Amino acid sequence: SKPSLLILPGDGIGPEVMTEVRRVIDWLEKEKDISFDVTEDIVGGAAYDAHGTPLHDDTMAKAQEVDAVLLGAVGGPKYDALDFNVKPERGLLRLRKEMDLFANLRPAVCFDALAAASSLKHDVIAGLDIMIVRELTSGVYFGEPRGVFTEGNERVGINTQRYTTSEIQRVARAAFELAKKRNGKLCSMEKANVMESGVLWREEVQKIADAEYPEIETSHMYADAGAMQLVRAPKQFDVIVTDNLFGDLLSDIAAMLTGSLGMLPSASLGLPMANGRPKALYEPVHGSAPDIAGQGLANPIACILSFAMALRYSFDMGEAAALVEGAVEAALADGLRTPDLMTVEGGTKVGTTEMTDAILA
Ligand code: NAI
Ligand code: MG
């Protein structure tokens, strides 16, 4: 049967960039005879407007059934004053939580045509292609006890970094599987020098390496040293696996090696479903960009590359994914630039639609 995809455009530029993904899907159906069972639904502010909730139960149920979910972006000034529980972002958080998406994949790829725009030296980032895997459902953001408490005449803010072996093992396995599909190299980052959870993290990752992935070149690095190395010589890495907090910071550092927010895709994966495919949500890293929404200026590349990740990781269509990625690279090499990319010298300023025209061409 056809692979199934649930499209949730969301708010702001979400629907604008998703329209462009639909064009890429149409092209693949027409030119490559690859077809998908696509359904579309609403999420975020759009769902709040229609149903009074940022994620309807029916939409949640659909998301649990499909092979992959592709989400645009949620939120906007119109919804800023809403109650926390019905804010657009809650829709996205509910999806991540109920699908139990514990492995957040953030690639950092530096396209040659954009290398000059980085604040780093050209030879440091040209050809960069790394993947950061961040644990997304545990660690210090969720550990108990947490809260602000009173102790004598002081107040104390508490968060707890907590990881179980199974939480470490499942994200490590996801990262090792990626390393297998990529270049056979994985670096795990924690602070085992000062943190007990880091000691456990290092031990468990190494155990999995020894028992299940002896062919992968596995290394460990303290996360602070890793941050430094990511800026100094990022090409030494291929797959990096790390916890929720360090991954939050390290993936933002890596993102900025490569250029604009409008270029960055992501995937969040959970456990395998009955058909062997992991639960999966793909989304651009950027938000709904209310400052440029409705003007045809949004860069569609982050969302198109998120779809390419779905092709590769959910549908086993690595060739089609490479085709889409290559087309993006070619459009950039031809000098096409949405306004967010105009920091790059030269180039032709284009809007959302023209960028996709060039990618399809
Ligand atoms: P943002 O990512 O929406 O925008 C930050 C800046 O980057 C803006 O100047 C925007 O114009 C630009 N930008 C972002 N994506 C772009 C693209 N594809 N092409 C060209 N320029 C692009 O972040 P911001 O402004 O902090 O948040 C705006 C709204 O989006 C808020 O309501 C926020 O809560 C929500 N948001 C949603 C996310 C999601 O759905 N995953 C993630 C981040 C923010
Ligand atoms: Mg962050």
Judge if 55 and 92 occupy the same domain. Answer: yes
Annotation says 141 is catalytic: yes
Look at residues 256, 278, 306 and tell me which one is the last residue of a structural domain.
256
Helix (H/G/I), strand (E/B), else coil: 103: strand
pLDDT tens digits for range 223-238: 999 999 999 999 999 9
Q: CB neighbours of 11 closer than 8 A, spacing ≥ 6? A: 44, 45, 46, 72, 73, 74, 75, 76, 79, 88, 288
Annotated ligand binding at 244? The verdict is no
Look at residues 256, 278, 309 and tell me which one is the last residue of a structural domain.
256
pLDDT higher than 90, residue 125:
no
pLDDT tens digits for range 59-88: 999 999 999 999 999 999 999 999 988 999
Judge if 97 and 136 occupy the same domain. Answer: no
pLDDT of residue 288: 98
CB atoms within 10 A of CB 280: 25
Judge if 302 and 346 occupy the same domain. Answer: yes
Q: Tell me if 89 is assigned to some domain.
A: yes
Annotation says 210 is catalytic: no
The parent domain of residue 192 ranges over 129-256
Bridge partner list, 251: none
Closest approach atom of ligand 1 to CA 301: 18
Residue 121 — very low, low, confident or very high, per pLDDT cuts 50/70/90?
confident
Judge if 147 and 238 occupy the same domain. Answer: yes
Alpha-carbon distances, residue 38 vs 27, 184, 356 (angstroms): 14, 34, 20
What is the average per-residue pLDDT within 158-182? 96
Domain count, the chain: 2
Q: Tell me if 298 is assigned to some domain.
A: yes
CB atoms within 10 A of CB 179: 25
Interatomic CA distance for residues 246 and 195, integer angstroms: 13
Contact present, 259 and 114 (Cβ < 8 Å): yes
CA angle 131, 167, 187 (to 5 degrees): 30
Identify the CATH number of the domain in which residue 65 sits: 3.40.718.10
pLDDT tens digits for range 230-264: 999 999 999 999 999 999 999 989 888 877 889 99
Judge if 199 and 244 occupy the same domain. Answer: yes
CA of 286 to the centre of ligand 1 (A): 5
Q: Tell me if 272 is assigned to some domain.
A: yes
Judge if 205 and 264 occupy the same domain. Answer: no
Contact present, 49 and 326 (Cβ < 8 Å): no
Contact present, 134 and 101 (Cβ < 8 Å): no
pLDDT higher than 90, residue 106:
yes
Closest approach atom of ligand 1 to CA 14: 40
For the whole prediction, is pTM greater than 0.80? Answer: yes
pLDDT higher than 90, residue 120:
no
Judge if 248 and 134 occupy the same domain. Answer: yes
Judge if 244 and 310 occupy the same domain. Answer: no
Q: Tell me if 121 is assigned to some domain.
A: no
Look at residues 224, 256, 288 and tell me which one is the last residue of a structural domain.
256
Q: Tell me if 157 is assigned to some domain.
A: yes
Annotation says 224 is catalytic: yes
pLDDT higher than 90, residue 114:
no
Judge if 21 and 84 occupy the same domain. Answer: yes
Q: CB neighbours of 30 closer than 8 A, spacing ≥ 6? A: none
Interatomic CA distance for residues 273 and 258, integer angstroms: 33
CA of 359 to the centre of ligand 2 (A): 29
- For the question of an ipTM over 0.95, the answer is yes
Q: Tell me if 115 is assigned to some domain.
A: no
pLDDT higher than 90, residue 214:
yes
CA of 283 to the centre of ligand 2 (A): 14
Residue 118 — very low, low, confident or very high, per pLDDT cuts 50/70/90?
low
Ligand 1 binding site (Cβ under 6 Å of any ligand atom): 13, 73-76, 89, 92, 261-262, 283, 286-292, 298-299, 302, 338, 340
